[in-house]
Structure 1
Amino acid sequence: MAERADADESLVYEVLDLVFTLTDQTNALLADTLGDLELTSVQAKALWQIEPSAAPTMRRLAASLHCDPSTVTFIADRLQDKDLITRESDPANRRAKIVTLTERGLATRRRLATAMVTKSQVSQLSPAEQRQLKRLLAKAVHTTG
């Protein structure tokens, strides 16, 4: 039984090592694009999380970025300084602020998305492999232990 636990632990280690390697490779491939867009990786992740069709509140954006609301305020300040977003009162809750992409923000997000889709190693997988990877990663992300 201990032998199986060691094998399972080794396999988990190998999978996690591949996940970290893929993340590092993707970040390296996007570095040029981020430099061209004058964005940090955190700012790019925030733009990625702001859906053009559903403007999030600052609190929801903080949750999706897994950080404090004060950190999102700092990130939003930088994005607003670059004219990529606006912050407005939420009509449904005047105490909350929603984050909306500007025209420049939409164009920047499109350039970022294009780079991610074309430069990522995932794009080199077949559509069937991409679907399989998506299912497995979604299962791993949504598994609670």
Structure 2
Amino acid sequence: MDQLAQAAALYYRNFAAVAAERDLTLMQGKMLSLLRRPMPMRALADLLACDASNVTGIVDRLGARGLVRREADPSDRRVKMVMLTEEGEETVRQIRSELMSNLTGLESLGEEDRHAFQRLLSQVLPAVST
């Protein structure tokens, strides 16, 4: 677990630095990376483990930069869905690309080892596999 904690800390330091290069906070970068599909604001708050009012502020700042937009959920107009704009999608691609280029240890693993690593993480941390 200590090694996993060290790996997570290194990843988040790297993630924060990559996000900062794009004038994003760690939380803004994390939110962008979570938006693989449109998501309700409440779900984002749960995933980010923060209060809904914090999510509103983050979405407002990202929206002002043209990286996300809000739309009412067609099935429940009271629910606000957050989604990436094209510029937001490009920003996420850049962040992920740079993160992967900094994780050279993963590239040294063969395909079988990468799959085994992913399978083991899923067993140890089931929430990661979803």
| Pairing partner for 1:74 from 57, 79, 99 | 57
Moved over 6 A (4+): none
SS for the counterpart of 1:112 is helix
Is 1:35 aligned with 2:20? yes
Q: RMSD across aligned C-alpha pairs, in angstroms?
A: 1.8
Identity %: 32
In the alignment of these two chains, the number of paired residues is 126
Paired residues of 1:30 and 1:115 also in contact (CA < 8 A):
no
Instruction: State the partner residue of 1:22.
Output: 7
| Pairing partner for 1:134 from 104, 118, 123 | 118
* CA radius of gyration, larger in: 1
**What is the Cα deviation at residue 129 of structure 1?**
1.9
Instruction: Using structure 1 for the length normalisation, give the TM-score.
Output: 0.77
Q: Report the Cα distance in structure 2 between the residues aligned to 1:31 and 1:60, rounded to whole angstroms.
A: 22
What are the ranges of 5 or more consecutive residues in structure 2 without an aligned counterpart? none
Paired residues of 2:69 and 2:82 also in contact (CA < 8 A):
yes
**What is the Cα deviation at residue 18 of structure 1?**
0.6
What are the ranges of 5 or more consecutive residues in structure 1 without an aligned counterpart? 1-15
Identify the structure with bigger relative contact order (alpha carbons < 8 Å, sequence gap 6+). Answer: 1
